[in-house]
Homo-oligomer: A and B are copies of this chain.
Amino acid sequence: MAAEGAEENGRAAEVGPVARPTIRDVATRAGVSKSLVSLALQNAPRVAPQTRAAILAAAEELGYRRNAAAHALGAHRTRTIGVFVLDLHNPLTADVLDAVQAEARRRDYRTIIVVGGEDAAAERAELEKLLEFRVEGIIAVGHRLPDGADAAFTADCPAVIIGSDHRSTPHLASVSNDDVMGAGLAVDHLVSLGHERIACVDGGPSAVARDRRRGYRTAMRRHGLGDAIAVVKGSFTEDGGYRGASQALDLPERPTALFVVNDLAAMGAMAAVEDRGLSVPDDISVVGYDGTRLAGIRPIGLTTVGQPLQQMGTQAAARLCGQLDGEVCGQARTRLPPSLIERRTTARVLR
Contact = CB atoms under 8 A, between A and B. Distances in A.
A267 interface: yes
A274 B300 CA distance: 12
Given A69-B72, A155-B9, A156-B6, A298 B268 contact: yes
A338 to B, nearest CB: 21
Contacts of A297: 238, 267, 294, 300
Given A113-B114, A271-B298, A294-B294, A132 B10 contact: no
Contacts of A46: none
B267 A65 contact: no
A280 to B, nearest CB: 8
Contacts of A71: 69, 132
A141 to B, nearest CB: 11
What is the size category of the interface that chain A forms with chain B?
35 or more
Contact of A65 (B97, B131, B270, B298): B131
A94 B91 CA distance: 10
A217 interface: no
A226 interface: no
Contacts of A113: 112-115
Contact of A157 (B13, B69, B78): B13
Contacts of A268: 298
Interface in A70-120: 70-73, 76, 78, 88-89, 91, 93-95, 97-98, 101-102, 105, 110-115, 117
A152 to B, nearest CB: 4
Of the listed residues A13, A97, A132, the one surrounded by the most CB atoms of chain B closer than 10 A to its CB is: A132
Nearest to A153: B6
Given A88-B98, A105-B117, A129-B110, A156 B18 contact: yes
A299 to B, nearest CB: 5
- Count of chain copies: 2
B129 A101 contact: no
Contacts of A70: 69, 73
B3 A267 contact: no
A13 B138 CA distance: 14
A56 B210 CA distance: 41
A298 B97 CA distance: 27
A2 interface: yes
A335 interface: no
A66 interface: yes
Contacts of A136: 17
A105 B129 CA distance: 12
Nearest to A105: B117
27 contacts: A3-B152, A6-B152, A9-B155, A9-B156, A13-B154, A13-B155, A13-B157, A20-B156, A65-B131, A65-B132, A67-B73, A68-B69, A68-B132, A68-B134, A69-B134, A71-B132, A88-B88, A88-B97, A89-B98, A91-B91, A101-B117, A105-B122, A110-B129, A112-B114, A113-B113, A267-B299, A299-B300
Top 4 A-B pairs, shortest CB-CB distance: A271-B298, A69-B72, A10-B155, A88-B94
